[in-house]
């Protein structure tokens, strides 16, 4: 399992070994493989691409897209854009926190869910709205939040 | 040899093409305050304290080339106001409490505050609470005293070649790191050469256990080392 991921990372590093300015591309693809960029992965990338470790970490920490903590099986993205804010996005965050015990940016202890807040997912007509992975759930209230979470908890 | 002619503060000066405004000024005894600039390192224009006025525009003199016919001013009221504000922001961003700092008396930030007559800080302090990293056997870094000039980063890369220091994060979270941002004592690439200590303009990177009287830095070290290399 672990070796399978390592093989994929090594293949990525080989593919990009002669490419100019390969770091961001390699980090993207490595995050696809691992779901995040743990220190040992950053280390391998730095050493294989012959880029200083401090530079690799500088790039990883500069872009909010890159994660250094593992994320849960499911990503819950609560919209806190203007329309959702007006329609009580904060209450939805509270409900999720109550149900799963996590704040935006955190992952539940069982590793099932990661919560993040996002600015506008372009579904303002459905405010307040959240996404779980790629699926959108709109016009949220307490009942709907609980029912939706159950779909994933029991899956 | 080809030369260019320009005016600095009303003085007519000849210079070599390709020189920065700062180089030309220093060669002619005209003082421009600097912080991130260090003889022997590349210039990056990070601190903006060396701003000068060229055709009504404020530009960093360390990274702006002197060009033929330029009319440069280094001490206008506008420049003074901006330099002082930049300095105030540097002070407000960290915890630069001189009376508790080993570098007091040998600190370039402190010297600049005196030179630019910064009598008080008029913006709110942010009081950062960074952990002091004293995991290296001989040196320590207090990031609350770091002004992000990047001298340590450039010295480590350009002079020592170790590339241990780098920048992480951005905006108000930006900070200098060693390797993958783990403790300095764990940084495998660090050669413990200590040049970062000597070039750090403040009390951010210091010798462990050095008292105020002992902590005097040798910031000319890099100039001496690189000068010898050029003659190889």
Domain locations in chain A as residue ranges: 2-62, 74-153
Residue bearing the bigger pLDDT, A3 or A74: A74
Query: What is the structure's pLDDT at A19?
Result: 84
Element (H, E) at B115: helix B108-115
- Residue B211's pLDDT band (boundaries 50, 70, 90)? confident
- How far, in Å, CA of B91 to CA of B121, rounded? 7
Share of chain B above pLDDT 90, in %: 91
Do residues B155 and B222 lie in contact, with contact meaning Cβ atoms separated by under 8 Å? yes
Q: Given an 8 Å threshold on Cβ–Cβ distance, is A58 in contact with B167?
A: yes
The predicted structure's pLDDT at residue B228: 84
- The stretch B118-126 carries a mean pLDDT of 95
What is the rounded average pLDDT of the residues B201-214?
88
Which residues, 6+ apart, have CB-to-CB distance to A107 below 8 Å? A69, A70, A71, A72, A113, A114, A115
Contacting residues of A for B182, CB less than 8 Å apart: 39
CB contacts under 8 A, B 161-180 vs A, are 163-170, 177-180
Nearest CB to A54: which of B164, B169, B170? B164
Segment holding A144, helix H or strand E: helix A142-153
Triad A79, A85, A90: Cα angle to 5°: 80
What 3-state DSSP class applies to A128?
coil
Question: What's the mean per-residue pLDDT of chain B?
Answer: 95
* For A53, nearest residue in chain B (alpha carbons): B179
- Quote ipTM for the complex: 0.86
Residue B196 in contact with residue B165, Cβ under 8 Å? yes
**B230 pLDDT exceeds 80?**
no
For residues B90 and B139, give the distance between their C-alpha atoms in angstroms, rounded to a whole number.
23
Residue B231 has a pLDDT of 55
Q: Hey, are the CB atoms on B169 and A61 less than 8 Å from each other?
A: yes
What digits encode the pLDDT tens for the residues B40-53? Answer: 999 999 999 999 99
Tokens 């922001």 sit at which residue?
B89
Asked if A154 is an interface residue toward chain B (Cβ–Cβ < 8 A), one would say: no
**Measured distance CA(A73)–CA(B15) in Å, rounded:** 64
pLDDT at A2 over 80: no
Can you read off the two tokens belonging to residue B193? 């050469």
pLDDT of the residue at A35: 87
Q: Is B186 on the interface with A (CB under 8 A)?
A: no
* B82-230: CATH class: alpha beta
Angle between helices A2-15 and A39-49 (to 10 degrees): 30
B169 and A62: CB-CB below 8 Å? yes
Residues of chain B with CATH 3.10.20.740: 4-75
The CATH number that domain B4-75 falls under is 3.10.20.740
Mutate to test the interface with A, among B156, B166, B183, B189 (most CBs of A within 10 A): B166
Residue A30 pLDDT exceeds 80: yes
pLDDT of residue A1 exceeding 70, the answer is no
* Torsion region of A145: left, alpha or beta (phi above 0 gives left; psi -120 to 50 gives alpha): alpha
- Return d(Cα A128, Cα B152) in angstroms, integer: 48
Cα B150 to Cα A151, B35, B85, B211: the distances in Å are 51, 10, 20, 24
pLDDT in tens, A60-81: 999 988 999 888 889 999 999 9
Asked whether residue B174 carries a pLDDT value surpassing 70, the answer given is: yes
CATH topology of domain A74-153: Glutaredoxin (3.40.30)
| Residue B216 pLDDT | 86
Which tokens hold the place of B39? 């003889």
Dist CA B66 CA B5 (whole Å)? 9
Which band of pLDDT confidence, cut at 50, 70 and 90, is reported for residue B15?
very high
Check if B226 contacts A (Cβ < 8 Å): no
| Contacting residues of A for B166, CB less than 8 Å apart | 52-55, 57-58
A132: left (phi over 0), alpha (psi -120 to 50) or beta: beta
Helix (H) or strand (E) segment spanning residue A116: strand A113-118
Rounded to an integer, the average pLDDT of A81-98 is 94
Inter-CA distances, B185 with A153, B136, B178, B189, Å: 43, 4, 9, 10
User: Taking CB atoms and an 8 Å cutoff, what residues of chain A touch B179?
Assistant: 53-54, 57
Q: What is the pLDDT of residues A32-62, one digit of tens each?
A: 999 899 999 999 999 999 999 999 999 999 9
Burial class (CB in 10 A: 0-12, 13-18, 19+), A154: exposed
Whole-structure pTM value: 0.84
**Chain-wide mean pLDDT for chain A?**
92
Q: What is the DSSP string of B18-87?
A: T-BHHHHHHHTT-----SS--TTS-----S-TTEEEETTEEEETTSSB--TT-EEESS-HHHHHHHHHHH
Average pLDDT of the segment spanning A135-142 = 95
Of B27, B21, B23, B26, the closest CA to residue B7 belongs to: B21
């Amino acid at each position: 399992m672990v070796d399978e991921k390592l093989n994929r990372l090594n293949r990525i590093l080989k593919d990009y070994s002669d490419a100019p300015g390969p770091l961001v591309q390699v980090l993207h693809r490595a995050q696809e493989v691992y779901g995040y960029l743990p220190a040992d992965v950053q280390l391998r990338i730095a050493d294989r691409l012959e880029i200083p470790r401090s530079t690799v970490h500088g790039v990883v920490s500069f872009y909010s897209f890159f994660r250094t903590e593992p994320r849960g099986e499911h990503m819950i993205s609560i919209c806190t854009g203007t329309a959702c804010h007006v329609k009580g996005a904060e209450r939805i965050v509270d409900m999720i926190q109550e149900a799963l015990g996590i704040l935006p940016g955190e992952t539940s202890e069982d590793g099932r869910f990661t919560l993040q807040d996002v600015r506008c997912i372009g579904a303002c007509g459905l405010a307040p709205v959240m996404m779980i992975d790629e699926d959108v759930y709109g016009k949220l209230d307490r009942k709907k939040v609980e029912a939706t979470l159950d779909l994933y908890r029991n899956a | 040899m080809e030369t260019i002619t320009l005016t600095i503060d009303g003085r007519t000066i000849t210079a070599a093409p390709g020189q920065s405004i700062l180089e030309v000024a220093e060669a002619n005894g005209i003082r421009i305050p600097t912080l991130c600039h260090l003889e022997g390192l590349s210039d990056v224009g990070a601190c903006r304290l060396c701003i000068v006025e060229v055709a009504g525009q404020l530009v960093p003199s360390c990274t702006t080339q002197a060009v033929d016919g330029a009319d440069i001013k280094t001490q206008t009221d506008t420049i003074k106001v901006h330099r002082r504000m930049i300095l105030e922001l540097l002070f407000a961003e960290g915890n630069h409490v001189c009376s508790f700092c080993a570098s007091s008396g040998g600190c370039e930030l402190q010297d600049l505050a005196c030179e630019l007559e910064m009598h008080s800080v008029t913006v709110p302090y942010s009081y950062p609470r960074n952990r002091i990293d004293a995991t290296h056997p001989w040196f320590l870094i207090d990031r609350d005293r770091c002004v992000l000039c990047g001298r340590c980063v450039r010295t480590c890369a350009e002079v020592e070649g170790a590339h241990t220091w780098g920048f992480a994060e951005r905006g108000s979270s930006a900070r200098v790191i060693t390797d993958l941002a783990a403790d300095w004592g764990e940084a495998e690439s660090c050669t413990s050469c200590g040049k970062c200590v000597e070039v750090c303009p403040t009390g951010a990177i210091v010798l462990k256990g050095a008292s105020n009287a002992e902590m005097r830095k040798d910031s000319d070290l890099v100039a001496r080392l690189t000068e010898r290399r050029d003659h190889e």
